[in-house]
A and B are shown apart, each in its own frame.
Chain A
Amino acid sequence: MTDKTMTPDEVVGRLRSGMTLGIGGWGSRRKPMALVRALLRSEITDLTVVAYGGPDVGLLAAAGRIRRLVAPFATLDSIPLEPHFRAARERAAFALTELDEAMFMWGLHAAANRLPFLPVRAGLGSDVMRVNPELRTVTSPYADGEEFVAVPALRMDAALVHLNRADRLGNGQYLGPDPYFDDLFCEAADTAYVSCEQLVESAEFAKAGPPQSLLVSRHSVTGVVETPNGAHFTSCAPDYERDEAFQKLYATTPWPEFRARFLSGGSEHAYQSAVRTWHEEQQ
């Protein structure tokens, strides 16, 4: 069987400027932050980012890597407004395809099912239709004759997701309460990269959780990366909660200062070490 393990930098080595990139998780929860940080260390730019947005979007926006964002929101959850996303929007730094949360989900389903669109009862009457003039409607072919929004498939070149456990073949297990949409992201993308808290033997999965916790299957995964604390500072329940103190620092520190202190070290290890030092200083 194929061993799909790689490093964060090897994942980024397979990505290119101009790609459409899906990022799993939701808000400031279980975001593949180690992979996002690896992306920030690269020269890759001009991305179309597809996400239920959190600090992944904020970081990439602050670094000027986004050409278009496809999202229903960007939030840090405990801090409702994502400061770098806001700042980027307020200077019109990237194009936005603003969709409703359900429209976004059905766009993922359509892509995963190789359909051009799926009909939804959402979007009609809202300004989502005004700001996305490319959106079309579709009429039910049945007796009701109702008109729905035809959400186009959110097909992606690559998806990045973070899970609690994975094996070397690309099977991924989530142990928290919510799968979010990570399996759909993987299935909706041409290539998918799973980072995980811990790489385990396949036989270990059954000890950690029931079969339905095996969220992502290897046939939809290209590469696997072990990145302990790799969702930091977002939450990765039950392995760890959100690092609220650090998130607050992120939200209140000028971008150049934050980048210089935490993202200029050249590796994920350097980032984790800089975070540890910061926490020690706070005590």
Chain B
Amino acid sequence: MTTATATRAEYCVIACAEAWRGDGEVLASPMGLVPSLGARLAKRTFSPDLLLTDGEALLVGLDGTVEGWLPYRRHLAMVTGGRRHVMMGASQIDRFGNQNISCIGPWEQPSRQLLGVRGAPVNTLNNPVSYWVPRHSRRVFVERVDMVSGVGHDRAAAAGPAATRYHRLPRVVSDLGVFDFAGPGRSMRLASVHPGVTVEQVREATGFVLATDGEVPYTREPTGEELRLIREVIDPKGLRDREVRG
């Protein structure tokens, strides 16, 4: 099998999987389909010690074998204990990594009520938090989020040492590229574009000025074995193509 045929969705799976590289024995908490595929790929290949859940209250192996119990109250202890790396969604995200899943428009009377802040405030102050955005657009990558749910670098710094002590935002993955916070003042930087995407295209779809360092590399190619695992073992029904087109 040749890697030249990898689809955009498969680059996204690889880019999400990379978020958990080197994490060791922590809980991988993927929100959304592509991050879930990425977490499973990471566990099957370069991060075998990761813990996964069944989406409810059990810790399970790749074959579904139950190895532990993780109801919500223990899950919250795992968050604050730091032994977890979550990849959350974002209805809005800004250049410093402030994320919003609560509501759009004024909080007092939103134009669109979404989920509420959920666990984003506790997640971001306690364990590594990455983000996944399946459709990169100016509506998501905004100058300023309407309700800070997940805490970004500027807001954590302003809140003081208790907020920054365990605050870590490793990466943002979208259908266009991979981003980190190595830009000026810990702002969002375009770390790689997925093959088939131009830097200009990413800038055009982003509602703030995006930092770049020199020539932006491409997101790495999957290995032949990784592609086989994605296509035949992890997502044989091709659900990934519904979340990421192109």
Contact = CB atoms under 8 A, between A and B. Distances in A.
Interface string B107-138: 11111111111111110111000000000000
B33 interface: no
A181 B73 contact: yes
Given A101-B122, A102-B79, A147-B162, A74 B109 contact: no
Interface string A91-113: 11000001111110100000000
A248 interface: no
Contact of A100 (B58, B109, B114, B121): B121
B221 to A, nearest CB: 33
A121 B72 contact: no
B126 A121 contact: yes
A91 B113 CA distance: 10
B71 interface: yes
B163 interface: yes
Nearest to A145: B161
A105 B71 CA distance: 13
A98 B56 contact: no
Contacts of A103: 121-122
Interface stretch (A34-42, A172-180, A191-199, A200-208): A172-180
A101 B125 CA distance: 13
A123 B71 CA distance: 22
A148 interface: yes
A130 B117 CA distance: 13
Contacts of A90: 109-113
B88 to A, nearest CB: 12
Interface stretch (A80-88, A154-162, A264-272): A80-88
A8 to B, nearest CB: 26
A50 to B, nearest CB: 14
A122 B121 CA distance: 6
Nearest to B106: A92
B76 A102 contact: yes
A243 interface: no
Contacts of B121: 100, 102-103, 122-126, 128
Nearest to A101: B119
B57 interface: yes
Nearest to A180: B72
A75 interface: yes
Interface residues of B, number: 46
A71 B113 CA distance: 14
A128 B110 CA distance: 15
Contacts of B158: 125
Nearest to A89: B113
B23 to A, nearest CB: 21
B164 to A, nearest CB: 9
Nearest to B166: A121
B22 to A, nearest CB: 24
B89 to A, nearest CB: 10
A177 B66 CA distance: 12
Given A91-B109, A178-B57, A120 B122 contact: yes
Given A72-B116, A73-B117, A89-B110, A100 B122 contact: yes
Interface in B43-85: 56-58, 69, 71-73, 76, 79-80
Contacts of B112: 86, 90
A55 B107 CA distance: 21
26 contacts: A26-B72, A72-B119, A73-B116, A81-B113, A85-B113, A89-B110, A98-B102, A101-B119, A103-B122, A120-B122, A121-B162, A123-B122, A124-B151, A125-B121, A125-B158, A125-B159, A126-B121, A126-B124, A126-B149, A127-B107, A128-B121, A130-B107, A147-B162, A176-B57, A178-B71, A181-B72
3 tightest A-B contacts by CB? A73-B116, A122-B122, A125-B159
